[in-house]
Structure 1
Amino acid sequence: MHKKIGFAILGLGELTETQLLPAFEKCRYAEPVALVSDDTYKANELAEKYNLRKSCVYSYDNFDEIGKNPAVDVVYIVLPNVMHKDFTIRSAKAGKHVLCEKPMATNISDAKMMIDACKNANRKLMIAYRIQHEPHNRVIKEWIDNDVFGRVKVIECFNGEYIDDASQWRFKQSLAGGGALMDLGIYCINTIRFLTGNEPVWVAANMYSTPGDKRFKEVEETILFQMGFEDGIIASCAASYSLNYQRYRCFTNNTWFGMDPAFAYSDLKIEVSKTNDGKDSPLPVVKQENQFVLVMDHMAECILNDKSLATPGEEGLKDQYVIAAIYKSAKQKKVIFLNEITEDN
């Protein structure tokens, strides 16, 4: 039987409870071996449920002790965005590889520090993007790469999730670093970059928050943005906390194709429109896969075989530059070119 890579899950919120810990049961190369939380009671409860020793439960304060635990190979950071940098650096110093939820940081400078910390410790840093591993999205990418329906000219992409709990950390600038763009728009940015294989050269954006809505005292409710690519593709995107809706469509001169829903954890669906002359295109049969299993097993395999990661820290850094440009455009009400963006933005 092959060796499994041990994961310490740092942060025991809804994603960890409902998706990550259950997903380990289907992983071939990854297994949970430790939990880290500031809620000791919850951590001990989950440790008992998943047959983990109490000695493998850590708090934020004694987290650095994890370096003495040889069973832990990877720290999976599932915390509010602003905490990603510090715990990535602490994990690297403890000799652990890092899998970090997106966005990887709240600014460019922090993202670079995370990359440097892992490089200096000779540890891998992977950002937990799912699109690159998910089979439906890989079909779409293959279609675009091979001009199956013609050359893509325009992409539209929307990601919305209605959240009415004003106490959530996502609505606090000091924890999230931003609003709908950081939490939801990141999917649009990273997905389009992956599908096209290209980087945006300019962005244009506008954002809005409902006056008097206490959820949006600190962060934006809705953001609309365009990205222009060197090959002429223009992407029109939106992210919002106002409604539940998510999809993307890729338009050629003869048809459109895409995903609806696009970013859910399961039940994804490919769509293809009729051609201009009314012909239908057959839809591919694509197996639904547990996306978190794919992500965690990918990292585990890369560690076991010393392979390159599909989404290393450098991939997350590229998104940070785009995010910075979008916020700058929305604030200055003008087109921003990516080559204008520095750490100081």
Structure 2
Amino acid sequence: MKSRRFFLQKAGLSALALNLTPFNPISAMTQDIFNTKQDEKPLRVAIMGLGSYGTRVANAMKDCKRAKLVGVISGTPSKIEAWQKEYGIPAKNCYNYETYHQIKDNPDIDAVYVITPNGLHMEHAMGVAKAGKHVICEKPMAINAAEGKKMVDACKAAGVQLLVGYRMHFEAKTQEVIKMRMNGDFGKVLFFQGLSGFVIGDPTQWRLNYPRSGGGAMMDIGIYSINGSRYMIGEEPIWVTAQETKNNPEKFKEGIDETIQFQLGFPGGAVASCLSTYSMNGLDKFFLNGLKGFAEMQPSTGYGPIEGKTHKGPLTNPHVTHQTTQMDEMAAIILDGKKPLVPVDGEEGLKDLVIIDAIYKAVKTGEKVSLV
């Protein structure tokens, strides 16, 4: 799999050059990091985990106005060297997984974006918090709600913010639909459908390793439909039912879900019907229906432009790279106290984990699981 969502982004990222040249801190660091308005302090970010998605975030941050990439944390020295050259990272801001706690003594780093495998999120996020730095953690925030709660508590105790990489919360067309729902344009919402899936490749990758991933498609792609149902309907679900289909137990071993259909019930009467899978391509669709109208988005969560329409016509908001908007908005949240349209804090991430736990329980028991 060449990217974190190969079915959504077929074009691979260019390989980082390995033929390194000496790092020039003046031309790279000074020009890049402080290319902001004089009166706006940038959020200085280190990325932990330099894989394909970390690279995507780093490239997107080149166009940020408030967030700047200033450091890296990786267990692979060659990646650190390549990123130093590509992004102008000074040696003093480079760490590995044994030394990253030393960021406590580095005043040039404000926050760390944790983009390591799911099973490492809690350990890494709590380590960053203990070092006194703000935490941005890729979703899912942890592999279960118990771990997520520990992360929330640790960040509160350390006096740092915990944000989760919900890039769709800032995407323009998504926000347009949310605002229409808030304004009553759809009337009473009755139904949501979320389809999230792709055919996963390499069977040896960490996403198919239970201790690393905490699950299968649900943890990786199904969470989009869970989170989407909540922000599209505007309520928190009160019950869950779910059914699992596993056609390839050799590839999808114990604890790694291949396909799960799940249903969520909401207090206002709306029902969500969703599909999460690692065995079908082209599944990236949201549909919201109310008494007065509808919204349909396809693709709904992919890295490229989101496409959609409502009963009032097509959604025409211009596309901006999601991670660019995300990081600038997160800088405003941390530095300015800005309140986002949809929360991206640790409590928001914990809500999704509670639902995921309930879905897995419903699959195992075959029963409806209450969330209240």
In structure 2, C-alpha distance between the alignment counterparts of 1:170 and 1:49, rounded to whole Å: 27
Instruction: Report the counterpart of residue 325 of structure 2 in structure 1.
Output: 294
* Pair 1:270 & 2:308 matched: yes
* Pair 1:231 & 2:231 matched: no
* Pair 1:7 & 2:45 matched: yes
Instruction: Report the counterpart of residue 351 of structure 2 in structure 1.
Output: 318
Q: Which amino acid aligns with 1:337?
A: S
Superposed CA RMSD: 1.5
Q: Which amino acid aligns with 1:304?
A: L
Describe the superposition over 1:130-149 as per-residue Cα deviations: whole angstroms up to 9, x where unpaired: 12111111111122223324
In structure 1, C-alpha distance between the alignment counterparts of 2:328 and 2:190, rounded to whole Å: 35
In structure 1, C-alpha distance between the alignment counterparts of 2:190 and 2:338, rounded to whole Å: 34
Give the C-alpha shift of residue 212 in structure 1.
4.3
Describe the superposition over 1:60-88 as per-residue Cα deviations: whole angstroms up to 9, x where unpaired: 01111111111110000001111111111
Q: Any gaps of 5 or more consecutive residues in structure 1?
A: 274-280, 340-345
Assess if the C-alpha contact under 8 Å between 1:9 and 1:35 holds in 2.
Answer: yes
In structure 1, C-alpha distance between the alignment counterparts of 2:255 and 2:299, rounded to whole Å: 29
* Pair 1:89 & 2:126 matched: yes
Moved more, 250-259 or 313-322: 250-259
In structure 1, C-alpha distance between the alignment counterparts of 2:203 and 2:233, rounded to whole Å: 36
Give the C-alpha shift of residue 218 in structure 1.
4.0
Instruction: Report the counterpart of residue 47 of structure 1 in structure 2.
Output: 84
Assess if the C-alpha contact under 8 Å between 1:144 and 1:151 holds in 2.
Answer: no
Q: Which amino acid aligns with 1:20?
A: V
Instruction: Report the counterpart of residue 327 of structure 1 in structure 2.
Output: 360
Describe the superposition over 1:87-140 as per-residue Cα deviations: whole angstroms up to 9, x where unpaired: 111101111000000010111111111111111111000011012111111111
Instruction: Report the counterpart of residue 147 of structure 2 in structure 1.
Output: 110
Task: Say which of 48, 56, 61 aligns to 2:98.
Answer: 61
Q: Which amino acid aligns with 2:239?
A: W
Q: Any gaps of 5 or more consecutive residues in structure 2?
A: 1-37
Give the C-alpha shift of residue 296 in structure 1.
1.1
* Pair 1:189 & 2:226 matched: yes
Instruction: Report the counterpart of residue 24 of structure 1 in structure 2.
Output: 61
The alpha-carbon distance between structure 1 residues 326 and 212, as it changes in their structure 2 partners (threshold 3 A), is closer
In structure 2, C-alpha distance between the alignment counterparts of 1:93 and 1:282, rounded to whole Å: 49
Describe the superposition over 1:28-81 as per-residue Cα deviations: whole angstroms up to 9, x where unpaired: 111011111111111111111111112321110111111111111000000111
Give the C-alpha shift of residue 252 in structure 1.
3.0
Moved more, 299-308 or 285-294: 299-308
Moved more, 306-315 or 284-293: 306-315
Assess if the C-alpha contact under 8 Å between 2:298 and 2:308 holds in 1.
Answer: yes
Give the C-alpha shift of residue 254 in structure 1.
6.2
Give the C-alpha shift of residue 215 in structure 1.
4.0
Q: Which amino acid aligns with 1:299?
A: M
Instruction: Report the counterpart of residue 33 of structure 2 in structure 1.
Output: none
Give the C-alpha shift of residue 302 in structure 1.
2.0
In structure 2, C-alpha distance between the alignment counterparts of 1:338 and 1:217, rounded to whole Å: 25
Assess if the C-alpha contact under 8 Å between 2:307 and 2:315 holds in 1.
Answer: no
Moved more, 111-120 or 306-315: 306-315
Instruction: Report the counterpart of residue 129 of structure 1 in structure 2.
Output: 166
Give the C-alpha shift of residue 282 in structure 1.
2.5
In structure 2, C-alpha distance between the alignment counterparts of 1:7 and 1:104, rounded to whole Å: 18
Corresponding residue SS for 2:351: helix
Instruction: Report the counterpart of residue 162 of structure 1 in structure 2.
Output: 199
Give the C-alpha shift of residue 195 in structure 1.
1.7
In structure 2, C-alpha distance between the alignment counterparts of 1:308 and 1:139, rounded to whole Å: 17
Give the C-alpha shift of residue 3 in structure 1.
1.7
The alpha-carbon distance between structure 1 residues 149 and 308, as it changes in their structure 2 partners (threshold 3 A), is closer
* Pair 1:257 & 2:295 matched: yes
Assess if the C-alpha contact under 8 Å between 1:24 and 1:293 holds in 2.
Answer: yes
In structure 2, C-alpha distance between the alignment counterparts of 1:109 and 1:282, rounded to whole Å: 43
Q: Which amino acid aligns with 1:174?
A: P
Moved more, 255-264 or 175-184: 255-264
Describe the superposition over 1:141-194 as per-residue Cα deviations: whole angstroms up to 9, x where unpaired: 122223324332111110012112101111011011111111111111111111
TM-score (norm 2): 0.86
Report percent identity of matched pairs.
35
Q: Which amino acid aligns with 1:291?
A: H
Instruction: Report the counterpart of residue 15 of structure 2 in structure 1.
Output: none
Moved more, 5-14 or 249-258: 249-258
Give the C-alpha shift of residue 253 in structure 1.
4.5
Instruction: Report the counterpart of residue 184 of structure 2 in structure 1.
Output: 147
Assess if the C-alpha contact under 8 Å between 2:241 and 2:362 holds in 1.
Answer: yes
